[in-house]
Structure 1
C-alpha cells in the first residue's frame, strides 16, 4: 500500500529533530514522500501483483467513480491470465449520485406523464 504517514517521524519532528521520511529513521512507516502524488492505478497494480503471486483472479472491483485501481488490477492479472477482464463496479453512494444526476438532466416530453406538472 502507498503510505505517506509516519507517526514516529511526526513525533520526532515535533521534538525538533530533523527527520526525512520515508526511511529516514528506524521504524518509518511511510513509503512515499509527503509531496508525492497518490496513484490509484499504481495501488491497483500492486494489489494485482499480490493476487497474481497467489494465483487469485479477481472478477469485480468496487471503487469510486474516478478510481483507476480496477484498471491497475486488471493490468497486473494479465500476467496470470492474458484474456482476463476485471469489471469495475461503482459503490452505492457514487452509483446513486450518478443516477440522480442523469434523472435530473433527462428531457421528458409534456405528454409523457398525465396530469398537472410543475414548471
Structure 2
C-alpha cells in the first residue's frame, strides 16, 4: 500500500468522509482528527474495528485499553481525517460507528 492512499467511508447518515489510509505503526503530527482502526481485506476493501477522535493525533490513537481488541482483530491500518472542530469530530464518530458497528467500540 502506498503512503497517503485515500478511501471514502460513508456514515449512516449518507455523509461521505475522505480518510487517508496509513500503516498502524504511523506516527502523527499534533493535529486534531477522526481515526478508524481497521485492516485491508483486498484492494480498496476494508474491515473496521474502532472509530474514535482526538484533539491531538500525535498521542497514539491506539489507546492501551483497546490494543488487545485491535490485535485480536488483526488491525494493520489507521484511517485518518483531520478535523479542527470537536463537535464535528464527535458527530462523525457517531455517524461512522452507526454505519459500521465496529467491534472494539462496544464496552
TM-score by length of 1: 0.20
More helix by share: 1
Q: Which has the larger radius of gyration?
A: 1
TM-score by length of 2: 0.22
Higher relative contact order (CA 8 A, sep 6+): 2
